[in-house]
Each structure stands twice: as structure tokens, then as C-alpha cells.
Amino acid sequence: MTNDLEGRVALVTGASRGIGLAIARRLVDAGALVVLSSRREQNIEEALDTFADRSRVHGVAAHVGSRDEANRLVAATIEHFGALDILVNNAGTNPYFGPLADIDDALMQKTYEVNQASIVTHTAAAWHQWMQAHGGVVLNIASVGGLGPEPGIGWYNVTKAAVIHLTKQFAFELSPTVRVNAIAPGLVRTDLARKLWEEHEEVIAAAIPLGRLGEPDDIAAMALMLVGDESSWMTGQTIVVDGGTTNRPSGGVG
């Protein structure tokens, strides 16, 4: 078996930059036809311009927090490329940094809609419009933050913990037609996580067993494996890709 995705169609949310764009590139390189989605049309066009062969990619602007938009996005993917074999639920947001007890309702709701509810709405749309009849693969991007508490990003981590459980639940409900897995990245050098690393990168990197922050392509490499045939007997799993961060000894050693 290989990672040859020739003839398969993928949809990647939050694909205009960072991890989403890196995953889209990996999928295209493996032969897939890929729809890139993001909220802003201009960002999508800039991302599409980075591909050598524009015929293998297509962009659709959509608001990931809306069920109607999820249904429209999936329909547009099927209309343009004729199928939907791979769904990558990558879009995420973190508009609040601070104590969980102080978050306001608007920011709490926005984070929930984008990070958590969108997993349900996009997976449901893919299932009802294509995968129930034809099969497919769903990949969710969670976070190591979903594995335990951290200062400042508590609500973000709560939504990512939900993504891990949603992965298990959908894997249970959609088997054997559809496989559902997740990746839990550690700290990756992206704009979304910039506040966590930009001012202290050397200190943070020194505390990571492999000595550096993650790059979007580190996550994309694992994504390619999980959506391809080499993982055909995997479902309901969350794979941690974090440079060894969660493998450090307890008690502040390492």
C-alpha cells in the first residue's frame, strides 16, 4: 500500500494558511483533487496561487461556524469535483486568552461554533451528501491542549477535548463505511498560535524533547498517512504529534 490518492477528492477547512494549507499541499502532491475553504475569498485566492496546477484545486469561501454553510460547502465540493472522499476538519480559532472564569459569552460561543460544532456539521454534511453511500475518511485536527489543563487557553482546550471525543463518537457511529481519526498537534509555528510562541520561542523549544517547535508540514505528513490506505484499519484514534512534549517526565524534569 502507498499514499497514492489519485482520483480522490478532499475538502480541507481552514485551508488558506498554516496547517490547513500544508495538508492541502500534501494531498495534492499525493494525487488528490482538493477544495480549500476559508471564510475570506481573498485569502483563498492567495492560497490557490501557491499551487503549480490550479486545475487540481478549487476554493470555496464559507463560514465554518454555520450548518447551512457546511451543507453548501460540501455540495459545492461534490458539484465541482464529483465526489467527496476525504474531509479534513481543520478550521479553528482562539479569540480569547485568559482565565476561564472571565470569558464572555460571545467569545465562548464563537470558539465553540468554530472548533467544536463545525466538526458535527461538516461531518454530518459529508455523511448525508456522499459518504454514507460511497464511503470515505474524516480527519479532525484537535490539540494536545485537549488532553489536559493549561493557563490562558482553557476554553480553547475544552473545545479541543470535545474534538477528541467527537472523533471517537463519529468513528463508532459511521463505521464501517467511514473512518474517523484525529491529530493532536503540539505547539506549531502558525499565526493562530503566535501569541504562545513568538516572544519566547527559544525557551519553549528548549523544553521540547526534539528541540524545536512544530511546523505545519509536520502535521501534514501525519495527515497524509491517516487519510490514505496505509491506515485502513484505524478509526477512532487521536495521534499526538508534539515533538515529545507530552512525553516529558512529571515534576518539571526534562
Rg of the chain (C-alpha set):
17
The span from the CA of 169 to the CA of 236, in Å, is: 8
* CA distances to 34, 194, 203 from 199, in Å: 35, 9, 9
The span from the CA of 190 to the CA of 197, in Å, is: 9
* CA distances to 37, 194, 213 from 99, in Å: 31, 19, 25
112 catalytically annotated: no
| Phi, psi angle pair for 112, to nearest 5° | -60, -45
The span from the CA of 94 to the CA of 251, in Å, is: 28
Active-site pick, 81, 155, 156, 197: 156
Catalytic residues: 156
